[in-house]
Amino acid sequence: MSAVIAIVLVISVAIFAFFVIYSLTTLSLTAYSLFEEVHQKIEHGDGFRPFRRPLRSGISLVVPAYNEELVIVPAVRSLLGVDYEPLEVFVVDDGSKDGTLAVLSEAFDLRELPLGDRFGLETEPLEALYISAADPRLHVASKRNGGRSDAINAGINLARHELVGVVDADSLLDRDALARIVEVFSADPDRVVAVGGTVRIANGGVIEDGVMTQPRVPVRGIAGSQVAEYLRSFLSARIAWSAMNGLLIISGAFGVFRRDLFRGVGGLSRDTLGEDMELVMRLHEQLRPVRPGVRIEFAADATCWTEAPPGLRPLRVQRVRWHTGLLDNLRLHRRMIGRRRYGAVGLLSLPYTILVEVFGPILQVTGYAIVIVLALFDEIAWEYAVALLLVVLLVAQLQTAAAILTEEIGFGRYRRRDLLLIGGWGLLEMFWYQPLSALWRLWATFLWVIGRRPGWGTIPRGAALAQPPPVEPELAPAPLSR
């Protein structure tokens, strides 16, 4: 029995130590990102618009699409409406089983082009290539199904501009998103090799002509909690990691890369579920030793709106996939851990990710289990537990509050009511969303250890982004037949 007690004690101390380190590091990151945003505000003032650069590069946007018939037309219209020239858009239909290609053909008057040959990256074979007669900047390729990475690599093979962007089919870009992202490349053209934009949640927002005009925070908990989570993790934390040049991921939903380097390192991997993160880690691993100044940046003001999984089941599928991808990538690129030649990636980002993302869920779920067991045996020191819970809640809420302030200072996209909702969801998620998320990640770790791969799963699309159908004019009643 004493051994069990000793183990419980050791685990409890480990959990406590983890909590202290986690709190200090995440709060430091949040404070750093807040500082960065305030600094940007002092530098640029309100309503900053990037200068129009005279020698700016063209961008080829690649949009992988698999069974996206509900959202693909508004998404493409939104991309073609982006305020950027020169621009070309390649939609790659990855063997969809629905009418993705048909709706595109109808909406954009597609004409067939010869397929040709000489594709640099190896992919499943292309079946057809089209150009839009309505807007020749739009190309559509259809190919045999090979997965998201394969579709993107096929699009990169066709892309002709110096910069290539990857945008998900269930996403919308702000009109100035590309100009803002290219500003980061133009400011330091010799060193910046990739730039990611901010991904925000579109659910509940008002979309007009393919543009998010009024983002709103959904009242439903699943999407609402994700807004708070995206603000903390996809905005606040990435501002800080980018400032340290320690960014490990550019979201698959919206990122821009130098085409020669994207192809040069072999394109997206088809062997991992976290292909977007893997590419960024590969760029760090291959480029930093030979070009120490190389930078992978985050453009916080370049915004992409995406549809968050609306239910628990699709959210679980997504999170298990993300976590498996993370574990794959940490294993694949373990060589960088703790190595000075990889700069902040080796010394800060990777150790932090291992501590928080790999050990975090294990310790978190173990902690919940210990509390439940002790409660069952009526062995909980309630004063201690309540005090600890209070501090945990306050730390989490402080992180959310700082992320809200960063958002407010830098962007001010949400209404006052929405900010209150974000704060509310940030507080409540500690009791259901965080434990669930930890459980899913632990499950993903278990599957990964025993060598079982989760699939991509299917996430229902369309509710947040599909435009309402045009109202048909009311027809006069048909005369009664005589």
Partner 1 sequence: MEPAAPLASTFAQQPWFWGATVLIAGLLLLANIVLFLVVFGRRLRERERARRTARFEQECAEMLEEIASGSQDAGRLHTRISRLNELERPIAATMLMERLDPASASERAVVRDALREAGAIDLLVRSLHRRAPWRRALAARTLGQVGADEAVPELVERLSDRSRYVREAAVRALGRIGDERALGPLTKLFQRPGRAGAGIVYEALLALGESSVPVFREGLSSTEESVRVTSCFGVAAVLDPADARAELEPMLADPEGAVRAAACETFGRIPGETVPAPLAQATRDPVPSVRRAAVSALGAYDDPDTLPFLLAALDDPERDVALRAGESLVRLGRLPAAGGRARAAIDETEAWPLETALVLESLGAM
User: Cα torsion at 443, 448, 450, 456 (round to 10°)?
Assistant: 80
**What is the distance between the alpha carbons of residues 239 and 198, in angstroms, rounded to a whole number?**
10
- Choose, by CB under 8 A, the member of 15, 18, 33, 56 that binds partner 1: 56
Binding segment (CB under 8 A) for partner 1, from list 271-279, 301-309, 314-322, 396-404: 396-404
# chain residues binding partner 1, by CB under 8 A? 61
- DSSP E strand stretches across 271-416: 295-306
User: Looking at this protein, which amino acid is placed at residue 2?
Assistant: S
Contact 192, 67 (CB under 8 A): no
- Choose, by CB under 8 A, the member of 17, 24, 219, 381 that binds partner 1: 381
Question: What's the closest the beta carbon of residue 417 comes to partner 1, in angstroms?
Answer: 11
126 phi and psi angles, rounded to 5 deg: -75, 145
Contact 279, 186 (CB under 8 A): no
Question: What's the closest the beta carbon of residue 407 comes to partner 1, in angstroms?
Answer: 9
- Contact between 416 and partner 1 by CB under 8 A: the answer reads yes
Tokens 């309630």 -> residue: 382
- Choose, by CB under 8 A, the member of 385, 431, 457, 458 that binds partner 1: 385
Nearer to partner 1, 20 or 206 (CB): 20
**What is the distance between the alpha carbons of residues 137 and 124, in angstroms, rounded to a whole number?**
24
304 phi and psi angles, rounded to 5 deg: -120, 135
Binding segment (CB under 8 A) for partner 1, from list 48-56, 278-286, 353-361, 435-443: 48-56
Residue 225 region by backbone torsions, left for phi larger than 0, else alpha for psi between -120 and 50, else beta: alpha
Largest CA distance in the chain: 96
- Contact between 3 and partner 1 by CB under 8 A: the answer reads no
Binding segment (CB under 8 A) for partner 1, from list 49-57, 236-244, 270-278, 302-310: 49-57
Residues 361 to 380: which contact partner 1 by CB under 8 A?
374, 377, 379-380
Site string for partner 1, 316-355 (x = CB under 8 A): ----------------------------------------
**What is the distance between the alpha carbons of residues 34 and 240, in angstroms, rounded to a whole number?**
8
- Contact between 189 and partner 1 by CB under 8 A: the answer reads yes
Nearer to partner 1, 115 or 211 (CB): 115
Q: Which two tokens stand for residue 358?
A: 């790999």
- Contact between 455 and partner 1 by CB under 8 A: the answer reads no
Binding segment (CB under 8 A) for partner 1, from list 54-62, 90-98, 148-156, 453-461: 54-62
- Choose, by CB under 8 A, the member of 24, 102, 372, 387 that binds partner 1: 387
User: Which SS3 state, helix, strand or coil, does residue 312 take?
Assistant: helix
User: Looking at this protein, which amino acid is placed at residue 218?
Assistant: P
- DSSP E strand stretches across 31-79: 59-65
**What is the distance between the alpha carbons of residues 237 and 206, in angstroms, rounded to a whole number?**
27
Chain residues binding partner 1 by CB under 8 A are: 1, 4-5, 8-9, 12, 42-45, 48, 51, 53-56, 111, 113-120, 131, 133, 136, 157-158, 160, 186-187, 189-190, 260, 374, 377, 379-381, 383-385, 387, 390-391, 394-395, 397-398, 401-402, 404-405, 408-409, 412, 416, 419, 423
